[in-house]
Amino acid sequence: MTNTVPIITLDGPGGAGKGTICLLLAEKLGWHMLDSGSLYRLTALQALRKNVESEAQLAEIAANLDIEYLAEGDRLKILLQGEDVTDAIRTEQVGSKASEIAAIAGVRRALLDRQRAFAVPPGLLADGRDMGTVVFPHARLKIFLTASPEERAKRRYKQLKEKGIDANLPDLVAELKARDERDSERSAAPLKAADDALLLDTTEMSIDEVVNQVLQMASQRFGSNVN
């Protein structure tokens, strides 16, 4: 199934705009969307709540996550064991823990099949760090989105403020850089562009410009499969 479903992977560092772009593209194309970072964040939230540290237990949490994704207008509501944790998983504390546990090979393995199960017709937009390299290596369109750390921190700051979450810009820049380093230097599925990925630096681009550029790439790659 996964080999025949059109897949666009969007990988890149935190705050590069993957989430927003993926949501808009999924809506425009009528395709499904995988926010793979949410799986690492949900595992991290459970780990923090249960005070779990051992790698085996963390992998166990990842393997047994009871999650539901509900589309609500233009946002995706995320339920963990029936509880709405949409905002709870977006804090910097959870993001930082997610990056830490994402370095554990057992955790990544535990989440692999769950991620691949998202590849169903009419198509999938997969947002993450290793979508094009590990999870969907056969995807026909792979994009690596980047932006400068300062620009990414500004975007995240705005996002957090809009959600009413307290944030501090210099701290966000430092946290993003630390997270980039950890995500890029780990040995299990590090953050890197697939050899066949197209690079898109969005530092100077508006959201609409990025969406239109990806849509152009998609229609070149998939032709009539893309509306």
Residues lying near ligand DC in the complex (CB under 6 A): 14, 36-37, 40-41, 95, 98-99, 102, 128-130, 179, 183
Query: Of the candidates 68, 98, 63, which has an alpha carbon nearest to the alpha carbon of residue 83?
Result: 68
Distance CA 208, CA 214 (A): 10
Which residue, 123 or 128, is less far from ligand DC as judged by CB? 128
Smallest separation (angstroms) from ligand DC to the CB of 108: 7
Distance CA 125, CA 32 (A): 6
Smallest separation (angstroms) from ligand DC to the CB of 219: 26
Smallest separation (angstroms) from ligand DC to the CB of 14: 4
Which residue, 12 or 226, is less far from ligand DC as judged by CB? 12
Beta-carbon contacts of residue 181 (< 8 Å; ≥ 6 apart): none
Distance CA 44, CA 11 (A): 20
Distance CA 23, CA 128 (A): 13
Q: Is there a contact between 124 and 34 (Cβ–Cβ < 8 Å)?
A: yes
Which residue, 5 or 108, is less far from ligand DC as judged by CB? 108
Smallest separation (angstroms) from ligand DC to the CB of 105: 11
For CA atoms 91, 67, 79, 214, give the dihedral sign.
Answer: positive
Smallest separation (angstroms) from ligand DC to the CB of 207: 17
Residue nearest to ligand DC (CB): 37
Which residue, 112 or 219, is less far from ligand DC as judged by CB? 112
Smallest separation (angstroms) from ligand DC to the CB of 127: 7
CA distances (Å), origin 226, targets 84, 127, 128, 142: 33, 18, 22, 15
**DSSP conformational letter for 134:** I
Which residue, 176 or 214, is less far from ligand DC as judged by CB? 176
Which residue, 98 or 197, is less far from ligand DC as judged by CB? 98
Both tokens of 199, joined, read 């690079």
